[in-house]
Amino acid sequence: MDLIKSRHSIRKYTDQQIERADLEKILEAGNFAPNAGGGQRSMMVAIHNAELAKKIGIMNMASFNRAGLLGAYVSKDQPSVIDDPTIKNGFYGAPTVVAIFAQSNFMFRIADAFCIAENMVLQATELGIASCIISRAEVTFSSEEGQRMLKEWNVPENYTCQCFVILGYIDGEQPATKPRKPGRIKIVE
Ligand SMILES: Cc1cc2nc3c(=O)[nH]c(=O)nc-3n(C[C@H](O)[C@H](O)[C@H](O)COP(=O)(O)O)c2cc1C
């Protein structure tokens, strides 16, 4: 419970790269996530390269259509740098990113991918590594260059990116745990 409550979405990173051994542990956590039907269909591609992570982060933000948000903000309750239209890198300078792919025609592809993402961010928190789940995944790779990357990484053609997990070290203070809205839990006996 302490781990769950101390995880925060971090949007400012130092240049320090994470150790490969830590990345492998985080990927292993993702690999052991619950998955629909026990099919283990999803796959992860880890970019342990700050320059390439930045490049994909810029592709990610370029595809951001703010008109798709419900209102002007990602969250009115939690004003965030993601609402800053001058931010160009959707990965906020994190030196590592894991792209999570799933079979495009599988009905539980999104659920599978986000179960992986949650396992990964919790494992990262335990290791003292900052993280954030990032969306707008499929469209990030829709350009010719994006498609070329997927080929280079041997992502099967019937797979699409569902989300990203960015990883690195926090630049600044840990945010406070946000209070929870009331009325979101009911127990029926
Ligand atoms: C489905 C989903 C998509 C998200 N997409 C983004 C994103 O694209 N960019 C971002 O900065 N944060 C993204 N987040 C992180 C949320 O904004 C964050 O979890 C929320 O503001 C609560 O803050 P906390 O994670 O620090 O508790 C996403 C989270 C989820 C679950």
- C-beta of 10 in contact with ligand 1 (< 6 A): no
Tell me if 184 is assigned to some domain: no
Give dist(CA 153, CA 56) in Å, integer: 14
Single-letter code of the amino acid located at 70: L
Residue 88 confidence (pLDDT): 87
| Confidence grade of residue 64 (pLDDT, cut at 50, 70, 90) | confident
Give dist(CA 66, CA 73) in Å, integer: 9
| Confidence grade of residue 86 (pLDDT, cut at 50, 70, 90) | confident
Tell me if 187 is assigned to some domain: no
Tell me if 178 is assigned to some domain: no
Tell me if 86 is assigned to some domain: yes
Backbone φ and ψ for 85, nearest 5 degrees, come out as -70, -10
State mean pLDDT over 143-163: 97
| Structural domain for 17, as ranges | 2-168
Alpha helices in the chain (DSSP H): 2-6, 20-31, 50-62, 109-126, 137-140, 144-152
Q: What is the CATH number of the domain that holds 49?
A: 3.40.109.10
Give dist(CA 153, CA 147) in Å, integer: 10
Tell me if 182 is assigned to some domain: no
Tell me if 120 is assigned to some domain: yes
| Total domains in the fold of the chain | 1
Mean confidence (pLDDT) of the chain: 92
| Confidence grade of residue 11 (pLDDT, cut at 50, 70, 90) | very high
- C-beta of 8 in contact with ligand 1 (< 6 A): yes
Residue 59 confidence (pLDDT): 95
Tell me if 180 is assigned to some domain: no
Residue 71 has pLDDT above 70, yes or no: no
Q: Which of 135, 167, 181 maximizes ligand 1 atoms within 8 Å of its Cβ, making it the mutation to test the pocket?
A: 135
Residue 123 confidence (pLDDT): 98
Tell me if 116 is assigned to some domain: yes
Cα Rg of the chain, angstroms? 17
State mean pLDDT over 78-106: 85
60-89 burial, b for 16+ CB within 10 Å, e for fewer? bbebbeeeeeeeeebeeeeeeebeeeeeeb
Q: Which residues is 165 bridged to in the sheet?
A: 98, 133
